[in-house]
Amino acid sequence: MGTGLVVFIVSITGALYCFAPELQQLTQPYRSVAIKNERFLPASELIAIAEKQIPDKKVNRLYYGQPNKSAYALFFDKDGYYYTVFINPYDGTVLKTKNMRKDFYTIMLYLHFTLLIPYGQEIVGWSTLIFFLMIVSGIILWWPRNKAAKKARFTIKWGTSPKRLNYDLHNVLGFYSSWILLFTVFTGLIWAFDGFAATVYKMTGEKYSMIQQKLPVSDTSQKSLLITDKTIDKVWYQLEDEMKDTYQGVELILPQTDSAAILVRANPSEKIFYKTDYRYFDQYSGKEFEGAYGWGKYSDAKTLSDRIRRMNYDIHIGAVLGYPGRIAAFLAALIAASLPITGLLIWLGKRKKIADV
């Protein structure tokens, strides 16, 4: 019963989050700006503007989007504050300063993977694993043992008793959604348990990714020679032209230590994430590090396993198949939320039957 409650919460929040980007764009006007035939302001200026809005805090990340989208700066601490400042990238006008801890979609996301309670992430992980095993066992139990049972397994009898209707809703809808949920749940387990990531490589018979897991470090000997604020502009100017031809969004992740590199996550699409390029720049010289680090560029994903691992989030929300995939994931999540309820009603019915005997 406890697992059922967790599955219900995770499924409902997952369904609500499926179309979060579109709903946010539709309901939050500060995410859009009028297009101008001008260059975006450099990163250092946008960072300075944002930091005036949140005194005594430093920007962690800065995001540039398409010409009709606002730029935004993120301030966050793992266990503390989380703010976003939305800025017009053409003239620096502050459009909105938002406490993301009170944002509906942020709350839904944290509820989805932590339940907003201590040890919630672990509870979600183990409940998801149990749910995965229940899906597999459910398919086995559903499988018709003879031809006569086939039709009943595939169709819902609407003009029947509530008890029979509930049974059909659980079995039939559960079966149809299970083939989507297997992928959704498995990709969730990859985040929950490190060992599941390794299974992707084992399933394809390939060795673990050759992309370097050790991240590059900045040359601290140049620390006194260059101004870091202007270095971030140097990095931005290298990416500015690529925003027109290659990328639809660029996120600058600022270094939090003297030796860390500037990480740039540059995405050629606003609809999917697996093609994102991860590029690293020295925070003092602004020079890009050669080679593939972290996830590397999409072109660095040479093996099927690397590409599948990159697709994990897009598979999880169905985006890998475009809007049809996201709609399918949304409907499957709603059905998943109903399964603990219909399953509980079936169980209670059986208990009552035994008690009557």
- How far apart are the C-alpha atoms of 273 and 298, rounded to whole Å? 10
In a shared domain, residues 72 and 52? yes
In a shared domain, residues 257 and 339? no
- Specify the pLDDT at position 353: 63
Q: Is residue 213 part of a domain?
A: no
If pLDDT is split at 50, 70 and 90, which confidence band does 292 have? confident
- Specify the pLDDT at position 143: 82
Q: Is residue 316 part of a domain?
A: no
pTM given for the model: 0.89
In a shared domain, residues 158 and 296? no
Write down which residue in 75, 90, 109 finishes a domain: 109
In a shared domain, residues 96 and 10? yes
In a shared domain, residues 148 and 198? yes
- Specify the pLDDT at position 3: 86
Domain that includes residue 148, residue range: 118-208+322-356
Beta strand pairing call for 82-87 and 249-253: unpaired
Tally of structural domains, the chain? 3
Cβ atoms of 61 and 45 closer than 8 Å: no
- Specify the pLDDT at position 313: 95
pLDDT in tens, 124-174: 999 999 999 999 998 888 887 776 667 677 888 888 888 888 888 898 899
For residue 260, CA distances in Å to 217, 219, 254 come to 5, 9, 9
More confident residue, 155 or 354: 155
Q: Is residue 313 part of a domain?
A: no
In a shared domain, residues 7 and 105? yes
Q: Hey, which of 96-105, 285-294, 348-357 has the most confident mean pLDDT?
A: 96-105
- Specify the pLDDT at position 179: 93
More confident residue, 220 or 324: 324
pLDDT in tens, 249-273: 999 999 989 899 999 999 999 899 9
Q: Is residue 13 part of a domain?
A: yes
Residue 139 — φ and ψ, nearest 5°? -65, -40
In a shared domain, residues 178 and 239? no
Going by the DSSP 8-state scheme, the letter that residue 26 receives in this structure is H
End-to-end CA distance of the chain: 24
Q: Is residue 311 part of a domain?
A: no
Q: Is residue 265 part of a domain?
A: yes
